[in-house]
A and B are shown apart, each in its own frame.
Chain A
């Protein structure tokens, strides 16, 4: 017999963990499931057990407070547990999880999705060279294992994350070869009025930039990485200036480095919401396609709630409060707690969301930024498919992400399309002169995480990474 909870929550980041705390305070039986070993999500990722002692950062302090609160609450925290499928079963939700090589089913009356985000990287020649890691990915390596991707790193990307990562590289004893950001200083000036609401972050950001300037780290504003060179490891990086619409305009300098952090903002992780049938909308100001939901996390599907960055990229501070709001909505659904969230909480959420969206705005892809992906650039890393391969498929009649996926297997490799589908959808839209709203992401197929088929039978063998079946056209 599967365990039955009032509320199940996927993700124990700031959003999901706060949803869990709020709902258990209201007397609900709550389970919060996360594949990480501890709560904290991406922003407050816990340090590994190999770190005996290290200086605290604002992220470790906030994360420890959240982990302490969760450990003394009544919420059940299933860590090291991956959700790979969700299904409706009568009026309840069936959640299939994989832990320690075994799959099992958990039942709940309400389901809160707080699965966060993943990063978007515009493919450039050489981005598959070992030593190139995602910009957000680098934060995971640095926070969890206090390890750098190399000794001399080019840090490239949009928004505040590029300065955070560069300063973390310096704090961990590495050298920042250069900072490369497609943003112009004028874009940051436009964000300033919103920054005024967060003097703490404004101050922290100013320190990072002043420190980089004192260390004479070159900062390339309005530039992008246009090519990474090297065989089995990065040896150099070429950067180029971008035109007013973000298109590369001429080759400029070569920088010697052994590693690169590369990122172009975040995309909400919406697969679970798609599986549950929540309608999507195209919101570039929230990171792309998002599940349609109210500010209290309610969706059009009874008993299903979304919050945090998986509902649209609004950042960690908004995710915390959004989690509380969605937690209360889920409580109300199962008949517990207040029917309306406190006005103060809603107001604080709106304020935090405004700040977060001003940061997200710095990462909205510009119309010409796909020009960085040359015809010979690999777009689908899993199947080594180039832009040319995909354009040929589009010319042959593939008009949707699903069609490209079943024709070429782009998006059907082990990553499940997580790192190519946004760039491919944009390519389809551009090639066919259609708006991006016309090319939704492909229909997701379970598993949400690679599940060895043997795990379903109870015996686990990692050698059986299942390839999802082709999506229907």
Chain B
């Protein structure tokens, strides 16, 4: 089929892979990208549960404003759309049964 907008997916070269953990699951990302991007490519969209009604939530604004993508890293809460991936990072979701 004729494409006027070419598919560039195969022309994107990323830096070496690194592994980190999200709620105990090993996720592969690339050093320098956001935790959110790595989770999204791994198909993980459900990042936390809303504190009031417990409903599932995921990233929304993608620019660090809405706080929907908050996760816990080293006991600190941080927006996964602003946190940069590095190997060995341990990321936990907020308000999911796993962390009570």
B5–A171 CB distance below 8 A: yes
If the complex has contacts A232-B45, A384-B52, A384-B53, are A50 and B11 also in contact, measured as CB distance less than 8 A? no
B66 contacts chain A at the CB level, 8 A cutoff:
yes
Q: By the criterion of a CB under 8 Å from any partner CB, how many residues of chain A are at the interface?
A: 60
Known: A134-B62, A137-B63, A141-B62. A214 touches B36 (CB 8 A): no
Chain A residues touching B, majority SS: loop
> Are the C-beta atoms of A52 and B45 separated by less than 8 Å?
no
> Could you say which interface size class chain B belongs to?
35 or more
Pick from B30, B37, B63, B84 the residue with the most CB of A within 10 Å: B63
The 3 closest A-B pairs by CB, nearest first: A130-B58, A49-B32, A173-B9
Q: Which residues of A contact B60 (CB under 8 A)?
A: 128, 132-134, 137, 381, 419
Beyond the given A130-B57, A138-B62, A145-B33, please list 19 additional residue pairs across the A-B interface where CB-CB is below 8 A.
A49-B32, A49-B33, A49-B84, A50-B85, A118-B65, A133-B62, A134-B62, A137-B60, A141-B62, A147-B33, A148-B40, A171-B6, A173-B8, A173-B10, A214-B3, A234-B45, A383-B52, A384-B50, A413-B67
Find the A residue at minimum CB distance from B73: A462
- Binary flags per residue of A120-134, CB closer than 8 Å to B gives 1, else 0: 000000001111111
Give A33 to B37 CA distance when docked, in angstroms: 25
Please list the residues of chain B having a beta carbon within 8 angstroms of any beta carbon in chain A.
1-15, 29-34, 36-37, 40-41, 45-47, 50, 52-53, 55-68, 70, 75-78, 81, 84-85
Selected contact of B32 from candidates A50, A210, A381, A415, CB within 8 Å: A50
Contact A462 B9 (CB under 8 A): no
Question: How far, in angstroms, from A207 to B6 measured CA to CA in the complex?
Answer: 11
Q: Does A189 contact B (CB under 8 A)?
A: no
Encoded as 1 (CB less than 8 Å from any B CB) or 0, chain A from 356 to 389 comes to: 0000000000000000000000000111100000
A52, B17: Cα distance in complex, Å: 12
Contact with B along A12-56 (1 / 0, CB 8 A): 000000000000000000000001000000100000111111110
Chain A contacts to B: CB under 8 angstroms: 35, 42, 48-55, 118-119, 128-134, 137-138, 140-141, 144-150, 167, 170-173, 207-208, 210-211, 214-215, 231-234, 259, 381-384, 413-415, 418-419, 450, 461-463, 465
